[in-house]
Structure 1
Amino acid sequence: MIPPFDTIFAVPLSCEDCIKSVSESLYKLNGISNVSADLKAQLIHITGTTAPSSILSAIQDTGRDAILRGSGKAESAAVCILETHASSTTDNVRGLIRMVQVSPTMTVLDMTLRGVKSGTYKVTVRESGDISRGAASTGGVWDAVAAKAASPPRAAKGVFGTIEVGNGGLGSVFLDRPIQIWEMIGRGIVVSRKEGDFEREDPDTFVGVVARSAGVWDNDKTVCSCSGKTVWEERKEQTSKGML
C-alpha cells in the first residue's frame, strides 16, 4: 500500500469560488485525502496517493493550468525528462517521469508519454547517465548483474515495467518500486519498444537523466534567476516543447 504524500501546485486563483471549483474536481479522484489552498500565494496543497499527472489533469479540467511546485519531503523527489535523440525529429521531448520516495523502502513513479507511436514501451533505469549517444551510451540495466547472480535470482532494480500507448499517442502508468531516490540520481532512464541494441537515430527510443526536484515547500520562486521569466512564462515554453 502506498503511504500518502504531499504535492503542491501553483494554480491561477482569483476567489473562493476558484478554490471550490478546483477542490471539487480533485476530490473526484481516487486517493485524495485532503485539499487546501492559499489564495494569496496561488497554491493548492494536496495530500493523498494520487499520481501528480492525474492531479494536473483534474485541475486543467476546471479550465486552469497548473505547475507542480513540489512533491514529498526535502530530497525525496526526482524527475526525468524523456527525449528522443533522433536527428529526424524537431520536437524532442516525448515524456516525463516524476518520482517521490514515500517511505524508506518505496518510491512511486508517475510516468507519461505524449506524441509517440502506439505500442508497448519498456522502461529501464541504466547503470550510466551518459546520454551523449542517446540510449546507446547508458550502459546495461541497473542492478541486472547482481540480480542475476543472487540466490535465488531476483528482478533487477532497474526494470520498471512497461507503458502502454494507445492510438492517440498518449500513455501513462503510476507504480511503486522498492528503491530509494538517492540510488537513481544521475542514472539514465530509457523508454523504448526495443529490449536493447539501442540506436541513437531510433525515434521511438527516449532517454533522460534522473535529477533531484523540489520537495513540498522547497520551491518558492516566482521568477527564474537565470532567464528572468516568470514560472508561467517558463510553463508556456515547456508545454510548447511537449512537456506535460
Structure 2
Amino acid sequence: MVRSRKVCEFGLFIIMKEFEIILNVPMECEKCVEAVTKALTPLKLSSINVDLEQNIVATKGGVAPSTIVKTIQETGKDAIIRGTGQPNSAAVCILESFDEKDYHAPVKGLARIVNVNDTELFIDLTVNGLPKGTYYPSIRNSGNLSEGALSTGDVYYPLEPIEVTTPSSSSTIIESLGASKTPGFSGQSFLYAQLTVGDLIGRSVVLSALKDKVTKDSLVGVIARSAGAWENSKMVCSCSGKTVWEERKDALSKGLRG
C-alpha cells in the first residue's frame, strides 16, 4: 500500500490537482465583494467568483478548504462550505474524543476529503484543543465506534503526521463546530492519498498521540459522504424553515457539531 504524503514536503513534488469549493458568505454590498476577493487573491487560485446576490463564493484551485474559510473569516465575515469537488467525490469526518475528561467538549477535529480524479484525493485535516505535539492520523478498516478508536480495526491507509503547535484560540475551523472554548493547541495539514472517496465511506479516521498505536483517548470519527460543488444550494431548511445562518447560530448555542 502506498503511503500518503504531505504536499510539497521533504522535497517531494506533487502536481496540485484543482477542485472547486462553493461557500456561502454573508455580503451586503460591492465593498464586501471587493474585501473577499482581495483577501483570496494571494492564495493563487485559478478562479475566484463572488456572487453578491446569492451570497456565494466559488473558488477553483489546489488550496485547502480550511485555508479558504480562514482567509474569508479574517475579513470579519463568516463562511460555510456548501460543496467541494465533483458529485460523489467529497466526504467529511468529525473527529471526537471518547475520553471521559472531554465529555463536555468532545469535538477536536475535522477532516474534509475530496477526490481530484479517479485515483487521487486530498484530506484537509484540522485539529484543535489538544496537547502540543506530533499526532499520527490513519484511515481504519471499520467505522465501529462502540469502543471509540479501539474498535475501528486495523489500518486501512496510513497518513503523514500532523504537528499541533498553534494556540487553540487561533483555530476558526473547529470553533465553527462549537468547541471554541477548548484549551490546548491546534494544527492543520493538507494530505495527499492514492484513494477514492468511494473506498472510504463508512470507514473511520483515527488520530493518535502514539505512532502505530491506538489508545482510549485517540480521536475518531466515521467518514460520511458530503455534497459536491453546486449540489447543496438550499438556503432555507424545508423542515425547520430556518436559514443556514439561523441553523448555524442554533447549533453553536447548543454545542452541536456539524
TM-score, normalized by length of structure 1? 0.87
Alignment counterpart, residue 120 of structure 1, candidates 134, 144, 152: 134
Q: Which residue of 2 aligns with 1:195?
A: 211
Q: Deviations over 1:54-105 (max 9, x none)?
A: 0001101111010001000000000000000112211100010001100111
CA contact (8 A) 2:98 2:106 kept: yes
Alignment counterpart, residue 136 of structure 1, candidates 150, 171, 174: 150
The answer to whether the aligner puts 1:27 opposite 2:26 as a matched pair is no
CA contact (8 A) 1:122 1:161 kept: yes
CA contact (8 A) 2:208 2:215 kept: no
Q: Which moved more, 1:31-40 or 1:232-241?
A: 232-241
Q: Which residue of 2 aligns with 1:160?
A: 159
Alignment counterpart, residue 9 of structure 1, candidates 23, 39, 42: 23
Shift of 1:235: 2.5
The answer to whether the aligner puts 1:174 opposite 2:190 as a matched pair is yes
Once residues 167 and 40 of structure 1 are traced to their aligned partners in structure 2, the CA distance between those partners, rounded to angstroms, is 37
Partner AA of 2:165 in structure 1 = G
Q: Deviations over 1:30-63 (max 9, x none)?
A: x411111111111000011110100001101111
Q: Which residue of 1 aligns with 2:106?
A: 92
CA contact (8 A) 1:91 1:242 kept: no
Q: Which moved more, 1:32-41 or 1:232-241?
A: 232-241
Shift of 1:217: 0.6
Q: Which residue of 2 aligns with 1:65?
A: 78
Gaps of 5+ in 1: 143-157
What does residue range 70-81 of structure 1 map to in structure 2 within 5 Å? 70-81=83-94
The answer to whether the aligner puts 1:103 opposite 2:117 as a matched pair is yes
Shift of 1:196: 5.1
The answer to whether the aligner puts 1:230 opposite 2:246 as a matched pair is no
Tell me how many residue pairs correspond in the alignment.
Answer: 225
Alignment counterpart, residue 65 of structure 2, candidates 40, 48, 52: 52
Q: Deviations over 1:15-39 (max 9, x none)?
A: 111111101100111x411111111
Q: Which moved more, 1:133-142 or 1:225-234?
A: 225-234
Cα RMSD, aligned residues only:
1.8
Alignment counterpart, residue 43 of structure 1, candidates 23, 45, 56: 56
Q: Which moved more, 1:226-235 or 1:206-215?
A: 226-235
Q: Which residue of 2 aligns with 1:215?
A: 228
Once residues 167 and 78 of structure 1 are traced to their aligned partners in structure 2, the CA distance between those partners, rounded to angstroms, is 26
CA contact (8 A) 1:99 1:108 kept: yes
CA shift in 2, pair 1:222/1:167, >3 Å: closer
TM-score, normalized by length of structure 2? 0.82
* Identical columns (%): 43
CA shift in 2, pair 1:159/1:198, >3 Å: closer
Shift of 1:193: 0.5
Shift of 1:132: 1.3
Q: Which moved more, 1:206-215 or 1:163-172?
A: 163-172
